[in-house]
C-alpha cells in the first residue's frame, strides 16, 4: 500500500512540475528581451522545490512505522507541493503580463518618437492608425498610454471626423459615467447644441 501511495503521489506531482518548468522557461525567455531580472522568481522556484525535496528526503530517511502514517505524509506533502508550486506559477504569470505590457508601451513610444522625428503631427499619426485599421478604442488607448489627456485623445479623433456618438461609445467602454463624459465635452468647449450640430454634420439625416 505504501509503494502504491508513493507512486500515486509521484504521478500527481508530475503535471505540476511540468507546468512549473514551462513557466520558468517563459520567464527566462522574457529576460532575454527585458531589462527586468527574474532571479527572484527563479530563487522562489528553487527554494520551493528544494524545500519540497528536503521534506521528501527526510521522510524517506524516517522509519516507516505504519502504512497509514506514510499515506498521511504523502497527502501532506502533496498539498504542500501543490500550494508552493501554484504560488510560483501565479507569480510567474503576473511577472510575464507586467513585462509584456511594458514592452508594448516601449514599442509604441519608440514608433511615436520616430513618426514625430519624421514630421508627423498627432493628427497625422491618428489618421495613419485609422488607415491601418486600428479601432477607435485602440487609438484612444494608445494616446493615453503615450501620456496624452483624455481631452487630447478625444480631440485627435474628432479631427478625423469622428462623431460624438463614436466617441461616446469609446468613453462608455472605458467605464466613464455620464458626468465624466459631460465634463470631457465641456473641456472641448462642446455644449449640447454643438454636439448635436457636430453629429448631424457627419451623419446624413434620412
Q: What is the rounded average pLDDT of the residues 29-58?
A: 45
Return the H-helix or E-strand segment holding 155: helix 150-158
Closest Cα to residue 22, out of 84, 82, 83, 85?
Answer: 85
Q: For residue 98, give the C-alpha cell.
A: 507586467
What H or E segment, with its residue span, contains residue 169?
helix 164-173
Q: Kindly report which listed range (47-51, 87-91, 121-125, 129-133) carries the lowest average pLDDT score.
A: 47-51
Structure confidence at residue 160 (pLDDT): 93
pLDDT of residue 100: 80
> What are the domain boundaries of the chain?
2-114, 120-202
Question: Model confidence over 173-206: pLDDT tens digits?
Answer: 999 999 999 999 999 999 888 888 888 887 665 4
Q: How confident is the model at residue 90 (pLDDT cuts 50, 70, 90)?
A: confident
- Per residue in 151-164, pLDDT tens? 999 999 999 999 99
> Rounded to two decimals, what is the model's pTM?
0.55
Q: Which three cell numbers stand for residue 125?
A: 499619426
Q: Is the pLDDT of residue 7 over 90?
A: no
Q: What is the pLDDT of residues 109-151, one digit of tens each?
A: 999 999 999 999 999 999 999 999 999 999 999 999 999 999 9
Confidence at 82, pLDDT banded by 50, 70, 90:
low
Amino acid at each position: 500500500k505504501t509503494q502504491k501511495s508513493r507512486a500515486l503521489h509521484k504521478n500527481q506531482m508530475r503535471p505540476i512540475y511540468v507546468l512549473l518548468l514551462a513557466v520558468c522557461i517563459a520567464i527566462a525567455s522574457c529576460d532575454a528581451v527585458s531589462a527586468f531580472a527574474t532571479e527572484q522568481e527563479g530563487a522562489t522556484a528553487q527554494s520551493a522545490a528544494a524545500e519540497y525535496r528536503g521534506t521528501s528526503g527526510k521522510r524517506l530517511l524516517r522509519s516507516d512505522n505504519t502504512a497509514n502514517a506514510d499515506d498521511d505524509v504523502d497527502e501532506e506533502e502533496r498539498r504542500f507541493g501543490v500550494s508552493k508550486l501554484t504560488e510560483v506559477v501565479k507569480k510567474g504569470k503576473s511577472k510575464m503580463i507586467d513585462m509584456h505590457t511594458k514592452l508594448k508601451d516601449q514599442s509604441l513610444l519608440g514608433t511615436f518618437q520616430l513618426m514625430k522625428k519624421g514630421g508627423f503631427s498627432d493628427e497625422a499619426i491618428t489618421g495613419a492608425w485609422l488607415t491601418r485599421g486600428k479601432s477607435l478604442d485602440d487609438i484612444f488607448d494608445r494616446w493615453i498610454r503615450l501620456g496624452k489627456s483624455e481631452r487630447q485623445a478625444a480631440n485627435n479623433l474628432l479631427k478625423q471626423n469622428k462623431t460624438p456618438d463614436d466617441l461616446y461609445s469609446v468613453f462608455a467602454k472605458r467605464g466613464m459615467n455620464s458626468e465624466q463624459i459631460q465634463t470631457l465635452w465641456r473641456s472641448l468647449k462642446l455644449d449640447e447644441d454643438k454636439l448635436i450640430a457636430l453629429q448631424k454634420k457627419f451623419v446624413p439625416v434620412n
